[in-house]
Amino acid sequence: TTAVDPFLPPSPGSQPQPQAPLSSLVARDISAWFGTHQVLDRVSLEMAAGEVTALIGPSGCGKSTFLRILNRMHELVPSAGLAGEVELDGEDIYERSRKLTDARKHIGMVFQKPNPFPAMSIYDNVVAGLKLTGVKAGKETKDELVQRCLTSAGLWNEVKDRLRSPGGGLSGGQQQRLCIARSLAVRPRVLLMDEPCSALDPTSTRVIEETIKELRQEVTIVIVTHNMQQAARVSQRCAFFLASQGTPGVIVEHGDTDAMFGEPRDQRTHDYVNGRF
Ligand code: ADP
Ligand code: MG
């Protein structure tokens, strides 16, 4: 190996592209209700810029609810109640003067079941990401946008010769990556993923994991997963949610992923990450 001389200018082509700084998201004392049923109790978590944060824990402990609070989808449920604060780069996303769609532009979401528009072309599915949030295309052309997003989602090489074929014709894993591409159209600052691989086969799952690892360079990611190996592989930080015997969900433990798996502080975390639950 040759050492890089720090005093020499970088060779052409090796210069990193200028990038917007990555964003961080802070949730403070989040409590949530459906009617009178409390499902989260004062949950606080910092999701740091440039990291993948994994939310783990048994079903029903409020992980999806927490995720939906992070981009203001929770309030679409008529019976929903909410207390606490969410800040994106220090700004309150729930501030009164802020429009609901504002949070969605900056904080994208990918769901468990891939949901591209099946009859729409691959190309138009990506472009639709702009329309969904009402964002105008910036300087880049539609062609550039489609190539950028499909490349970031790890799908470009597989579909570049059939951009006009319907999104519904792709495999499940490809459809999920198409949904990721669509959510990247608006250049979100944060990407929320709710069990994005739960409906996929192991091979597609690994491809999505590689995509997530690459995406961390351009967007801050929060992922809910039931797959402990996946959490260990893709995340730098981890939060363990638990709702015991009818009590609302809380975060039992959070921190560095390696520490959470290697030397958990709480016995319940230890049991959960080792499959004893
Ligand atoms: P998880 O994603 O960890 O499985 P959820 O956030 O989906 O947990 O659910 C947390 C709790 O909130 C559960 O008891 C669930 O039944 C309840 N819940 C979720 N969505 C709704 C809803 N739309 N209306 C009423 N209760 C709900
Ligand atoms: Mg869920």
How far is ligand 1, taken at its centre, from the CA of residue 62, in Å? 6
| Surrounding residues of ion ligand 2, Cβ less than 5 A | 64
| Ligand 1, atom 14, residue with closest C-alpha | 60
Measured CA to CA in angstroms, residue 263 lies from 239, 266, 269 at distances of: 14, 9, 10
| Ligand 1, atom 16, residue with closest C-alpha | 60
Measured CA to CA in angstroms, residue 186 lies from 107, 145, 165, 270 at distances of: 10, 9, 23, 39
| Closest approach atom of ligand 1 to CA 241 | 3
Q: How far apart are CA 145 and CA 109, in angstroms?
A: 19
Q: Stretch 33-42: mean pLDDT, rounded?
A: 97
Pocket around ligand 1 at a 6 A CB cut-off: 34, 39, 59-65, 77
For 61-101, write each residue's pLDDT tens digit.
Answer: 999 999 999 999 999 999 999 999 999 999 999 988 788 77
* Model confidence, pTM: 0.91
Asked if 98 and 43 count as a contact pair (C-beta separation under 8 A), the reply is no
Q: How confident is the model at residue 180 (pLDDT cuts 50, 70, 90)?
A: very high
Q: Which of 178 and 97 is assigned the larger pLDDT?
A: 178
pLDDT of residue 192: 98
How far is ligand 2, taken at its centre, from the CA of residue 157, in Å? 32
- What percent of the chain stands above pLDDT 90? 81
How far is ligand 2, taken at its centre, from the CA of residue 34, in Å? 15
Cα-flanking dihedrals φ and ψ of residue 240, to 5°? Answer: -100, 115
Q: Among candidates 83, 76, 131, which has minimal Cα distance to 105? A: 131
Lowest mean pLDDT among 105-109, 119-123, 176-180, 249-253: 105-109
| Ligand 1, atom 27, residue with closest C-alpha | 34
Radius of gyration, alpha carbons of the chain: 20
Q: Which ligand is nearest to the CA of 66?
A: 1
Q: Which of 234 and 14 is assigned the larger pLDDT?
A: 234
Q: Stretch 257-274: mean pLDDT, rounded?
A: 94
| Ligand 1, atom 10, residue with closest C-alpha | 62
Q: How far apart are CA 137 and CA 82, in angstroms?
A: 33
| Residue 261: how many other CB atoms lie within 10 Å | 18
| Closest approach atom of ligand 1 to CA 37 | 26
- What percent of the chain stands above pLDDT 70? 90
How far is ligand 2, taken at its centre, from the CA of residue 68, in Å? 10
pLDDT of residue 19: 66
pLDDT of residue 222: 98
How far is ligand 1, taken at its centre, from the CA of residue 117, in Å? 26
Task: Examine the predicted complex and report whether its ipTM is higher than 0.90.
Answer: yes
| Closest approach atom of ligand 1 to CA 58 | 3
How far is ligand 1, taken at its centre, from the CA of residue 208, in Å? 26
